[in-house]
Structure 1
């Protein structure tokens, strides 16, 4: 027998969404343990906390923790994202959440489109059509198109923390405010100078990684995620289920609409665009954030588990930080550390968490490195830059025959990968034999019928601000 001794004391360090979610999760998983949240001042550069989205997998985890979508919407802390719209040299495209129509006329949809289609691929994806039209309602199993749509939630960080604080207290989490936190040893931290012992310490402090060992190894992602500066501003509210990204010569701009405001952003590289020029290009008041894309090689070391930007910093594109964080938290809950564990459990966590982070990194890097080169000083040096290995494998296989390699701990749905790569101008060189075997007239008829049905879908739905307001009123 190998009896494991359960955790008795868990300390979470951090002041944002990541720390709150971790504290609630461990308090609910370990009802007999003492879980304390050492609330530190929020780190402005902690983008998993600052720009938090929750994908469908993360929403399922939050629901298990007793944090429902309705409560977040009622508090004005969440809006829905049905897709994202991208503009770049050569045109614009949209990516929809959800699997979409995976098969048509007996062939994979994107392969049938490659063999027989002429219209943009996004016109065949229900979520992309809704994103382009800025329409959303919840998926409905009774509707053949709406059943193929999914969505994510964008969180308003400050309002979400207020909701999560109430949930944490209800779960029995003891919240302690702290000005300074430092690691003294693998099981001892100092909070405002006072020692605090824990069986497990969770570092959710952001990119400062307050509990990381001085010799912690980091994997640098700056070559493949080259935007190292971010200007964040605010515009009046204009609720929409669509995030917008525009590639410019100096980087890219974005609009992320929340319920009470719209976050605006400009991501760039300081070596290419000096700060003064970036401020002139962005226009309006803005906060500058230094972005350092990287991940810890071993985010679980000793009795310290790093989550959020303390473990992996992906930058602002796509709001990918919190989805990765919640997936890694789910892995930790599945493996559930115990007192006196040997190195095997930490090694397995680090393996799986690293695979998840690398998959998310590959997807984010595709925006910068895949497809046709963009014009401008930010993009020009990236034209021949090597991507991360997982992206290179995906590009090679998709460009050759329109398929993607299997991935353990996959974070991005295959349909999303397909939409991104096609939108970036990548076309499989080989025509899929199954798609080619469909008679051309039959394939065109099936594609046309599907496209026309999808084109008619947005007109059936209310404007998103009306739908959101109705949801907020119903939740009260």
Structure 2
């Protein structure tokens, strides 16, 4: 039997959140390997690196790296994030997509009702860990990005990551010729592009959001469990309240709406907007080629609707940990990684498309059809968004869930009785909740 040698040296290129997380993860997974972080400037369109939250995948990555919630609350200005409020999207004035279980009908299918997480977030209520009903919630975290990155820097050094002292310009070259594997977490993908032709699969044909600007305002006097996404005539405004400040983002499609959306953001936030930033939605067809693997915005880029950018980057890091190679390039794991990473990115992109009222992909059209006719969401092994989040989004957008055969077989009296019992139990759980305070 041929013994496969472990990777002796991995170079991670990037100066932001994604590169730090990848370097820490690789150092923890390969204690016998040398992990080098090669810093470079974080581009303005690196949406994963500039995110203030990361979703369930980041939560799983934190758990794998031993980064506890208590540490994030103490050192990264973390606050709970229970739901996203959507205004101006569906037939109702607003609806919520909560983190956790969606409402279910008596047969176990999706019901056109708010989830418990949504109801709690709308009323700014919370359940204590272990309290009845808390098991149906998936409370995620927002954080202060600067404090979070500073903490990751400290953890990277503790994990044995070697951080080079010389930054790399965006058009420079990586002095990592001896590295067995190079992770391109630069945000722009220039490292990956330098190694050969990088086939970018553009998603522009769907007239997607591809411009944005930001602002930061002092935190509101009352903390919130909700992010808010508000539709405007020309685009969207995203409000993400944090412990010390509220992050605001405006995103839109056409350059001709630049001034209009900047003014809308400044009016809503009360703070000056940055200059518009353009980005190209899409993904790499082969994020891993040879000894270079792209992650984060270097591999996939899309609008920050749904806050999936850092969530996807964390999912990519978890996938790399599952498929860590041995030996030298070419790696046998490359094709499988590319297949699964492509599915993750396409699934995230479908969720963003759905929020924009677009279909565009066959899988998204199938998902809407199956939900409307049969009341279920097709599950994917490499799904990036939970089925319960999909169900809440589609109900909010006006898609009525179909009925499962079991529900059709139940009598009206059985359905009414079970529905009343479920609603009474939900009211009881809400009455036992307490107001959220920092």
TM value normalised by structure 1: 0.84
Aligned residue among 181, 192, 195 for 1:211: 192
Matches within 5 A, 1:389-408: 389-408=362-381
Q: CA deviation at 1:16?
A: 1.1
The 1-side partners of 2:10 and 2:215 are apart by 36
Call closer, same or farther: CA 1:170–1:156 in 2, change over 3 Å.
same
Alignment of 1:319-398 (within 5 A): 319-369=307-357, 386-398=359-371
Aligned to 1:454: 426
Q: Which residue of 1 aligns with 2:147?
A: 159
Shift of 1:454: 2.5
What's the offset of the Cα at 1:177?
Answer: 3.8
Matched residue of 1:436: which SS?
helix
Gaps of 5+ in 2: none
Other-structure match for 1:53: 53
Task: State the match for 1:252 in structure 2.
Answer: 236
Q: What residue number does 2:22 align with?
A: 22
- State the superposition RMSD in angstroms: 2.2
Aligned equivalents of 1:275, 1:438: Cα separation in 2:
54
Equivalent in 306, 326, 344 of residue 318 of structure 1:
306
2:266 is equivalent to residue 279 of structure 1: no
Distance in 1, matches of 2:284 and 2:37, equals: 22
Task: Give the C-alpha shift of residue 278 in structure 1.
Answer: 2.1
1:166-225 deviations in Å (ceiling 9; x for gaps): 1111100111243325799xxxx535xxx6531111111103433323511011122346
Give the count of matched residue pairs. 428
Q: Structure 1 residue 109: deviation in Å?
A: 4.0
CA drift at 1:281: 2.5
Check conservation: 1:133, 1:458, Cα contact below 8 A. Answer: no
Q: Any residues of structure 2 matched to 1:1-400 within 5 Å, and which?
A: 1-88=1-88, 90-91=91-92, 92-100=94-102, 102=104, 104-105=105-106, 107-110=107-110, 113=111, 121-122=113-114, 125-140=115-130, 142-143=131-132, 145-181=133-169, 189-191=173-175, 196-212=177-193, 213-224=195-206, 226-238=208-220, 239-271=223-255, 273-283=256-266, 284-287=271-274, 288-369=276-357, 386-400=359-373
The answer to whether the 8 A contact 1:101-1:148 is kept is no
State whether residues 217 and 298 of structure 1, in contact with CA within 8 Å, keep that contact through their aligned partners in structure 2: yes
Give distance in 1, aligned partners of 2:139 and 2:246: 19
Structure 2 distance, partners of 1:322, 1:231, is 18
SS at the partner of 1:121?
coil
Q: Structure 1: how far apart are the matches of 2:296 and 2:116?
A: 32
How far, CA to CA, are the matches of 2:188 and 2:264 in structure 1? 27
Note the C-alpha offset of 1:458: 4.2
**Of 404, 413, 417, which aligns to 1:441?**
413
Is 2:373–2:403's contact at 8 Å kept on the other side of the alignment?
A: no
Secondary structure of residue in 2 paired with 1:32: coil
Contact 1:224 1:388 in 2 (8 A): no
User: How far apart are 1:418 and its partner, in Å?
Assistant: 0.9
Could you tell me whether the CA contact under 8 Å between 2:78 and 2:243 is conserved in 1?
yes
Deviation at 1:436, TM superposition (A): 2.1
- Determine if contact 2:251/2:303 at 8 Å carries over to the other structure: no
Query: Matched residues in 2 for 1:138 and 1:211: separation?
Result: 46
Work out the CA distance in 2 between the residues paired with 1:455 and 1:289: 45
Query: Cα offset for 1:256?
Result: 0.5
* Partner residue, 1:374: none
Of 212-221 and 130-139, deviating more is 130-139
Please tell me whether the aligned partners of residues 15 and 39 of structure 2 are also in contact (alpha carbons under 8 angstroms).
yes
Corresponding position of 1:383: none
Q: Counterparts of 1:20 and 1:225 in 2: how far apart (Å)?
A: 33
CA distance in 1, matches of 2:206, 2:240: 23
1:52 Cα deviation (Å)?
Answer: 4.1
Q: What TM-score, normalized by structure 2, do the two folds share?
A: 0.91
Unaligned 5+ residue runs, structure 1? 114-119, 371-385, 469-476
Q: How big is the shift at 1:147?
A: 1.5
Task: Deviation per CA, 1:361-394: give whole Å up to 9, x if none.
Answer: 1111110125xxxxxxxxxxxxxxx512221111
Whether the aligned pair in 2 keeps the contact of 1:233 and 1:265 (CA below 8 Å) is yes
Structure 2 CA distance for partners of 1:332 and 1:82, relative to 1, 3 Å: same
Q: Displacement, 1:96?
A: 1.0
Indicate the residue corresponding to 1:378 in structure 2: none
For residues 308-348 of structure 1, give each alpha carbon's deviation from its aligned partner in whole angstroms, at most 9, with x where no partner exists.
10011122111101111111111111111223244531011
- Any conservation in 1 of the 2:189–2:294 contact (CA below 8 Å)? no
Decide whether the 8 Å contact of 1:79 with 1:155 is kept in 2.
yes
